[in-house]
Structure formats: structure tokens, C-alpha cells
Structure 1
Amino acid sequence: MYEWSETDLMIREAVRGFIDKEIRPNLDALESGEMPPYPIIRTLFAEFGIDTMAADGVEKMLATQRARESGTDSGGAGSGSGSGGGLEGQDSLMAVVISELSGACMGLVSALGVSIGLGATTIMSRGTLAQKERWLPGIVTMEKVAAWAITEPDSGSDAFGGMRTYVRRDGDDYILNGRKTFITNGPHADVLIVYAKLDEGAAAGADGADAVPARRDRKVLTFVLEKGMDGLTQSAPFKKMGLHSSPTGELFFDDVRLGRDRLLGETEEHRGGDGRESAKSSFTAERIGVATMALGIIEECHRLCVDYSRERTLWGQEIGRFQLIQLKLAKMEVARMNVRNMVFNSIERARAGKPLSLAEASAMKLYSSEAATDVAMDAVQLFGGNGYMAEYRVEQLARDAKSLMIYAGSNEIQVTHIAKGLLGR
């Protein structure tokens, strides 16, 4: 049975101290959008040495790849294609940090996770040595913020089939047109990983039903854009139900000219398949991350409700003596244990070299997001009128928890992925 190590527990206490000092006093400013999440994330990285650790990890990986490509490396250490943004081997540490931060301000985790967990990881797994050297050092240290853009207004769960953003060849360059929406970090991102269909001309502009399958089946390419490029517009942040501290917006592409150096891998024929394959591997990591975030929500609701049940009195006794309150607390404890064990299992599997499949990650995401939402709504109910007030925190936790059922693919889509995994399709 996996448990947090002594080092993990020490890190957890340190993170809790950081949260009390840097995050809780600024929650109102973060929730209102007055304070962006990035300065606090950078402070966290600096205080815990995460930026130095990530920078060192990336440099070692790049050095190994340089030696290998120059023919001076024996091939004994490192693959040069890691997927952890320079944080490989720190899985339990990052799980502790993510879960603790999620219980305090999940929007911070969303902003951080997309920038490094999706942005840096995609460049790490798909980019050339030159592209990794160009973009990774800034992203993994949070000096630069990354966005990962796949979702579109009319595609949603049909991310690839319904994709309308496209590129067409123009000599040695590509011209990008289209629109992305619900993009975490989109309003402020310095680096943007963008997925687009390749328009090769045939049937692209044709009318009629026979044009649709051709468009759906087109190759998906992945490009890296940067803030300020001609033709790129980054919208202002959306107003949302929850995750207020995580800026979300739209991206517009109007004849954005992209050199081949911005095409990840610098080839349309990537050995790992087209952009669909890199996105699917990112989906797996993202859905495991959702469970870790859900654990943080559940643990914070659990803590707040236990304390409130001891302190709040009705009819001359603590409300924790009432059986219906006890039932809510018991269900929270069961959810906490189940989700924590799922997170532990994913860590054990990763360390054993047997990472979760997409179907397994989808099952983990489906259960944990529903559990976190149920726990958070029960917490609001347990607090009664106080729970509906922002002052008591469970109101924010409930709004944030609901996003987990939509985030990283709606739960309805998770059902499809789980079933396909079981049926071998």
C-alpha cells in the first residue's frame, strides 16, 4: 500500500505554510481577477526550488540529446524525450503540491498545469532539439506562460473531427486561420501550442456532403506561436462560474504566417503520428491531474466540514452529533479515501513503468470529478446559509469542483473512452 513519504509530508506542511502566507490573504483579489495567478506561482517555484530543479532537469535532457545527435553519447543515460517538463521522478512531490493548492485555489493549479503539464510536455515530446532549446527553459520555470489550444466553438468534445482551424502551405511557410475557445492562459500566454488541420486543397472549400468526411480526416499539425505575432489576437478573460483565478479566453488567427521552425518536429510526418497522437497522450496526463485536483477539493471540504461540525451548535449541541450530519461526513471520508487511493495507484504505476492507459485515466477522471462535486455540494448544504456565502469558502470550492466534470473532456466523453478501452476499440 502506497503512502506519502516523510519527505512528501514535510513538503505538504511547507506548502500549507505557503498557502497561509501567500494565497489565502489574496483569495479575494485572485477571485476578482485583480491579481493574476502567475506571480504567486513564480513565488512558489522560487521558494521551493521548483524553478531551479526544472531548469536543471531540462538542461540535462537537452545535453543528452545534443550529445546523442552529435554522435558523442554512448546512449546510456536519458532518452532525450522525457515528458515531465524537467520534473521527472518528482511525481509524488507534484501530487502533494497540486492537491494542496487545489484545496486553496484551484485556478492556480489550472494555470500552472496547462502551462507546464500540457504546454511544456507537448514541446518535450514532439519538438526538435532546437525547438526544445528555444521554448522549454522559459516555460518550465514559469518565466513564460504557455497555453494549449485545441478546443473550438463548434467542436467541443469532437475536438478533431469538428476542428475548423486550418493551415495551408505557402512556399516553405504555413498560413494559419481559425479560432480557439475556452483556452486556459489564453489571454496572457507568451507561448501558444496550437492544433490545426492541414488544408491540402482538395475538397477543402467544396460544398456538399462528400466534402465533410475529407475535412474530418485531414492531418492535424501542431504549431508553436508567440504573443504579439501578426494576425494573432488573444481575447480578454471570460467571466466564468468557477476557476476565477485561472484566466480563460479565445484565440483568433487571421492569416498568421508560420515558418517550418514553428511546426513541432519540423515535419508533417512525425514518427509518433500526427497531432492527434500527441493530444491523446496529453489527455491521459491531464485526466490523472484532474483526480489530484479533485483530491485537494475533497480534503479541504472534509477539513472545513469536520471543524464546522464541531464548532456549530443547534438546540444546545454540536451539529456533528446529528446523524444526518454524520452521514455527510462519512460519505466525504469514503470519497477522500477512494480518490487518494486512485492518485496513489497512478503514482505507483508510473514508477513501475506501467502508466495508466487513456481509458484508465478517463475512469479516474470520471469518478474523482463526480466525487469532488458531490462532496463540495454536501459541504455547502452542511454549512446551511453560511455555505451559500463566499466568506465560508465552501461556496468557492463547489463552483470550482463543478468545472472538473467538464474540464479535460466532459464526463460524458469519459464514458465513451472507458467503454472503448473495455471493448478493445
Structure 2
Amino acid sequence: MIEWSDEDLMIRDAVRGWIEAEVRPQSERLESGELPPYDLIRSLYKTFGMDELARSSFQSRLEREEAGTGAGGQDGEDEDGGARGGNAAMSMLPVIELCKVAPGMVSAMGVSLGLAAGTITKRGNAEQKRRWALDLLTFDKIGAWAITEPNSGSDAFGGMQATARRSGDGYVLNGSKTFITNGPYADTIVFYCKLDDGSQPRDREILTFVLDRGMPGLDQSKPLRKMGLHSSPTGELFLNDVQAGPDRLLSSGSGSGKESAKQNFVTERAGVAAMSLGVIEECLALSVDYAKKRELWGQRIGDFQLIQLKLAKMEVARLNVQNLVFRHIEMQRAGRTPTLAEASAMKLYAAQAASEVAMEAVQLFGGNGYMSEYRVEQLARDAKSFQIYAGTDEIQVTHIARDLLAR
């Protein structure tokens, strides 16, 4: 794949038109945190039939599983309810286009769909999928994926302190989570913790539970203030003796919780490439337009070679990240999932490219670039987050290098 098809471009233009009509007019309210993004995301789903597509795909897949003729993720379907490679535009183009205006909306949408719903569809039984997954896949409910803790950011598994203690046939959960996307508003929470069985803390089994908003002992904080991604509410979770029955435990068994988290890391990191492409394309378009209009010493700044160098490097970054996105689409069509190292390499390069392009755009705009009116200021703050969440740049390097050294 070297370019979007005519059908892809039609979908892109339709999504772009919806964004211009529905999202851009609300950008200030989204950026201030006054407007949570969820009603806009639901509008996107309904406008393009994404909710009905997810519903029909979910039902057909579940029927095949119960009949014993197929399992989730087989027979040409992804675990999150979409057709594998069937229509790349409907999965990638909305991400790219939304990130030109409000990257945080994509984070909120992706965590609810790809991580929360994705974990339940991969690890849950039929009853659990009906109970929780479908409402997340259609975005009738909001999901959160809770793994990060105050003292175990990059060491997510080894440093995890949240615990599950057996009590009768159920469990008692305790602990806290931080930097949780959708945390303040989530209806359904996929919660990772360690089984408190008396063994050494770092050696304990990772368990995964599904929790509901309003459960006794579960507190969800107000949105945290942060540098960027203001259209993506982020919060903390506090669990104090939360009672969880065995019906809330996903796929028990040694290593299952850790394995499901690693699979989600692949999904999340590969998705950052599409998010980065949106930011890069918008920064480049804004910079080219500004370079044509802004004049110094009687000529447009685009005629100066240093400005041309900035634009040229932005275009190189755009092409490279776009090619990463195209490669990922082709892998999906071929039924192949990226390895953790491949996904880490995609994220490392794309996130750095987006951050560098956005900062160069601020520099090109000069004093205006430092003002929120010109939007590159917001995009620069948002792009920086790509190098931190879903694993920092340093963690991506570790995963890539380990894979290379193990060959």
C-alpha cells in the first residue's frame, strides 16, 4: 500500500466534514476541560454507523464461539469487533483526522474500545462479553484500563502493589491507580492487580477484574490537570476492600493477566503511529500556510532557506510515519499482528517525529506559535504525550533492543 484508495479518500472527506462541523466549534471547550469528549464520540459512532457495525460483528462472532465454529479474533475478525483488514479507512482515518484537532478524543476512544473492550473480548467468557463488552464496543458505555500505579509506571508488573485477596469464592481488592484515561467518567473498569497469596510480591500472579462504576469502596477522582491532551479526561482510582465475585475475574490462570496486558501494549503502541500522523499533517499544513502569508523584510518567510529546511524535514517525517501506518494496515489485511518490538519501534519513531515536527512548527510561527490562537501550541503539548504514555521512549528502546539481542 503506497496511498489511500478513492474509497478511503471519500471516507476521509466525510469524516473531515463531520469534524469541521461538530468538533472544531467545540475545540475551546474540549481544551478547557469544560466539555468531556464522550457525546461527540457517540455522535461519530452513530453518524458513520460504527455502533451498528460493532453490534452486528459482536453478535455474529459470539454466535460462532458458542456454536464451537470459531473463536474471537478468527474467521477474519478482530477482537475489538471490526473486520480484520476489511476497511482500513474506518479504523485509521478517523484517528488521523481527529488528531488534527483534538488528539485527546482519540485517546479516550482508543482506551475504551481497544484496551477495555479489547481485554474483555480477548479474555472474557460469553457471559462476561455480553455483560460488559458490547456496551463498550458501541460506546454506549465508557471504559477505562487500569494498570499504572503511582510507584510502578514503567515497571508496571514488577512494581504493582494493588492486590486481590481471596475471600470465600470471591476476592477483596485494594490499591490505587493513576494516570487512568477515562478514569473520572468510566462506567466499566478493567483492573489489574496481584494475587495476595503470601509469595514474594514481584512473583505474584497478575489477575484482571472488571469493575463497575459505583461499586462500594471504589472511588474515581476528578480529572487531573495536565500539560496536554486536555480533551482526554485522566484520573485516579482508589479501591478500599472492594468485593469482587468470581464472575468479574477474566481468564484466570498463571500469567494470563500479564499476557493480556502485553497484547494491549501492542495495540496501543501501533495506534500511536496513526495519531502522530494526524498531528504531523496538521502542523505541516499550518506551517506551509503561515510560511506563504507571513512576511519579513519584504518577502514571505517561506523564501528563506532555514524555513524551507524546517518544511522539508516535516514532509520527510510525514512520509515516513505515513508509511508506518500503511505497513500496519497491510499487516492487518494479511492477518498478522505486530510483535511487541515492532509496535515499540513504530511508536518510538512516530512519537518522536510528531513531537519534533510540532516543536518546529512552534518555532516557525515565532511568537505567534507560543500563543494558543495559532493551534500549533496545543499540538506541541499534545504531541509530547505520545513519548510518555503507552510506554516512554526509553521503554520502547528496551523492548526493541531485547528483541534484537535475543535473535
**Residue 110 in 1 paired to residue 113 in 2?**
no
Task: For 1:81 and 1:296, locate their aligned partners in 2 and report how far apart those are by CA, in whole Å.
Answer: 28
State yes or no: 1:198 paired with 2:180: no
Please, what is the CA RMSD of the aligned residues? 1.6
Could you say which residue in structure 2 is the equivalent of 1:269?
Answer: 253
Q: Separation in 1 of the partners of 2:15 and 2:183? A: 27
Could you say which residue in structure 2 is the equivalent of 1:21?
21
Q: Deviations over 1:330-364 (max 9, x none)?
A: 00000000000011111111211232110011011
Shift of 1:79: 3.7
Note the residue ranges of structure 2 that are not aligned, 5 or more in a row: none
Which amino acid in the other structure matches residue 216 of structure 1? R
- How far is 1:76 from its partner? 10
Q: Give deviations 1:296-318, integer Å, cap 9, x for gaps.
A: 00000011011111111112211
Structure 1, residues 45-79: CA drift from partner, whole Å, max 9, x if none?
111111111111111111111222xxxx5x59974
Amino acid at match of 2:186: A
* Residue number among 61, 77, 86 corresponding to 2:81 in the alignment: 86
AA in 1 matched with 2:51? D
CA distance in 2, matches of 1:77, 1:371: 35
AA at the equivalent of 2:213: K
Which residue number corresponds to residue 304 of structure 2? 322
C-alpha contact (below 8 Å) 2:72/2:122 kept by paired residues: no
Change (3 A) 1:226 1:300: same
Q: Give, in whole Å, the separation in 2 of the partners of 1:6 and 1:54.
A: 24
CA distance in structure 2 between the aligned counterparts of 1:76 and 1:61, rounded to whole angstroms: 7
Partner SS for 2:133: helix
The 1-side partners of 2:123 and 2:105 are apart by: 26
Q: 1:77 to 1:173 in 2, by over 3 A?
A: closer
String of CA shifts for 1:341-394, please: whole Å, max 9, x gaps: 011111111211232110011011001100000000000011111111101000
Tell me how far apart the structure 2 counterparts of residues 414 and 181 of structure 1 sit (CA, whole Å).
21
Q: Tell me the distance in 2 between the aligned counterparts of 1:177 and 1:51.
A: 34
CA distance in 1, matches of 2:144, 2:227: 21
Read off the aligned partner of 1:269 and give its amino acid letter.
G
Aligned position for 2:243: 257
SS at match of 2:193: strand
- Name which of 380, 392, 395 aligns with 1:410: 392
| Code of the aligned partner of 2:191 | V
- Mapped to 2, the partners of 1:54 and 1:232 lie a distance apart of 29
Task: Output the amino acid matched with 2:15.
Answer: V
Aligned residue identity for 1:406: I
Cα contact 1:149–1:193 (8 A) shared by 2? yes
Structure 1 unpaired stretches of 5+: 203-213
Asked whether the 8 Å contact 1:62–1:80 carries over to 2, the reply is no
Does the residue aligned with 1:264 lie in a helix, a strand or coil? coil
1:172 is aligned, of 160, 166, 169, to 169
Q: Which residue of 2 aligns with 1:388?
A: 370
Identity %: 60
Matches of 1:394 and 1:339, distance apart in 2 = 19
Which residue of structure 2 aligns with residue 358 of structure 1? 340
Distance 1:78 1:348, change over 3 A: closer
CA distance in 2, matches of 1:308, 1:379: 10
1:208 aligned partner? none
In the alignment, is the contact (CA less than 8 A) between 1:81 and 1:124 conserved in 2?
A: no
SS at match of 2:46: helix
Q: State the match for 2:284 in structure 1.
A: 302
